[in-house]
Structure 1
Amino acid sequence: MTMPSAPVAGAIQRARALLELSRPADAERELRGVLAEAPEHATAHAYLAVALDAQNRGAEAVAEAHEAVRLAPEHWFTHYIAAQVHRGANRLPEAVAAARASLALSPEEALTWEVLARAHLQAGQWREAAEAAGRGLAVAPEESDLASLLSLALSSLGDAAQARETASRAVALSPESPLAHLAYGQAALAAGDPGEAASAFREVLRLNPAFDTARGLLLTALKQRNPVYRVLSRLRERFFGRGWLVLLLPAMPGLIAAFVLIALLHWGAWVAEAFTTLRLARGKTTRLLFASGDVRLAALCCGLPVAGAVVLTLGAVTGLEAVATAGGAVMALVTPVQEAGHTGSRRARKLLYGWSALLAVAVAASVPLSSAPMALLTAYAALATIWIAAGVRRFLGT
């Protein structure tokens, strides 16, 4: 790598300090000054990539990281920075490749094992993440973040006991680490201990109030403490994604009953989800965990079964079959609304909300048309949204 002059070295040290203080724009200015004097300074390009990445300027950060690697391909640090920047840009295969290139040059760098483990975790590659974190711990056994990452991977692999033990070690190594407490909460949740998990996630938020992942997991843990919600969620997870069974329907018509059961289990779980969210949103200690949109969605999904039951009862009393069936369809709308609300991709969410609106229009139209079959088909379509939503998320993202 380029041997810096004293002024250049001082500027780079200032840039590093500014990055540690979370002042990436100021660090960028320092580094631009260095590069104006020494345009082929690999270290300056590497740190500039970090500064740009911290400002969510992914494409520029990647370009600077590539330039650093071009200028100093024989140094582990430039490849390590490239891995870090690629991971920040969600270019995970490139991040893994860069981390492995860095480790080929210097396998004793715990930081590189850490970024490799993080990239594998981000990609959902649990075994690879556990292996990378374990290799890193062999190099630096007192590194809390590596122990935390190993615990997170073990939780995802279903090894709750080992995950909890590893997370406990991470917390002991660094009691003020939000990541360590997050890993402990994840392990407790995997072990079926939502109370302990909630305590861990609260500690994460005490240490870092902006840790949104912990906020979402805390809500999950609090909901899991509700036994009805817990049972329905487990049943829903067990049967989720079995849409391929539809291919067997011509040969095994009895599977229709299984499909109906799966759809009803999902519907029940979504109702329990809405009720639990609304209850927690009214609690003094938990109300700040919810965005107003989450509360409105929960209120709507608690209101739909009530409104549907009223309409169904009215139809039964008056003998109007279409009205009674429309009441059942109104109740079924909980599934498409919740599926839309819990979809991360904006495009997929809009599409599913549009589908929900279309179903609502169909329910409303079935009453003046006195069409019970139309209302019934709408109810079936609403309940079947669990499979429709899975397909939408697969093509448009979660």
Structure 2
Amino acid sequence: MYSTIVRIAPVLLAASLAARAAVGQAKTVVRGRNEGTARISASNVLGNGNITAFADLGGGVSKEALSAVARLGGHIGIAGIMQLTAGASVIDYQKLGPADAHLTITLPGNDKLRFFGLSVSGDLYLSTSQDTVSLGADSTRPLYSPFLMPSLVADLDWIARPKQMPLKTYLSIGLVDDPQLLYRYTQLAAAAGAEWKTYQHSVFVDAGVSLYKEKRNKLDPGDDGFEQFRVWIEPGGRYRIRSRFSIIASLGVTVYQQLKNNTALEPHIASLSVSFEAPILFKETNTEAIRTLVFMEQKEQQETDSFAENVESGRGLLGEIDTMISGLEEGGETFDYSKEREDLAKRRKEIQKKMAEIEQILKEIE
């Protein structure tokens, strides 16, 4: 095996060694445990004391109007199994949107590369919609009621299985789809997602259904059930900058929706979301350290396979040169074989010299 390695083409061997050196010197990726898709955060929470800031910019297209929402906030890890998230938004760059706070508690094993994860959140929303239709409101004194809702996230991290597939699948169930409409509608939101993770970046797709049931108010007796709903799909990806900062972009499309004839929801067509995440305080946890090691092992295995292919290619190349030289030594044709033979012999000497140098380097490395 060793004699085979030292006989490969020097360019291929040098390229493989350079790739291995580049991997060894690569920067550590700053990757939070709670990273998920655009719509669904992972069941994992940030490490204790870790802080991440985020800025979201979203836009929506309906049959009647365009809308835009900007949101700023952050996450902080607490006690290893809890996370506090808070944010505030501006709607259409003109008026204050809802503020929100979320306390998430996850299952034990958060600091391991676990296959199954589950988290429960208490979600507090402070709506800025002027509620003048609820039974306790009037036109001169709108209500701005807070809403506390639960939500649940479960996920499967397939990289934790023996085959180490870098796939993570998500399921999210909650009672909020649009915080600004909580005063008017009882809501139910269910979503599923799949994310293919690489060493730095990822691609994902989410799909879900959002259901609305109008509450009894001064204008309407309310709905008996969830009479309005929409089904949507939202593909996107995460791109990491300088191994630390993340840009998450996604495009959501409404696949199907059912609306009422009277007091209907605004028909939704599509939405665009772009988020920026920046770790402020970060200490790598065991979960992501193990994930990084798995990615590195997979990359090294791919390079080893490529290295083996290059060995075979190198053997084939030198074998062809040997055959050509042997054939030229037999002579007999009118072509200038002597000059061609000298050129090929010279090339072979140069290759053998370089191989000897590489063999010496490999011995020193050993």
TM-score norm. by structure 2 comes to 0.22
Higher RCO structure, 1 or 2 (CA under 8 Å, sep 6+): 2
Higher strand share: 2
TM-score norm. by structure 1 comes to 0.21
- Please identify the structure whose Cα radius of gyration is greater: 2
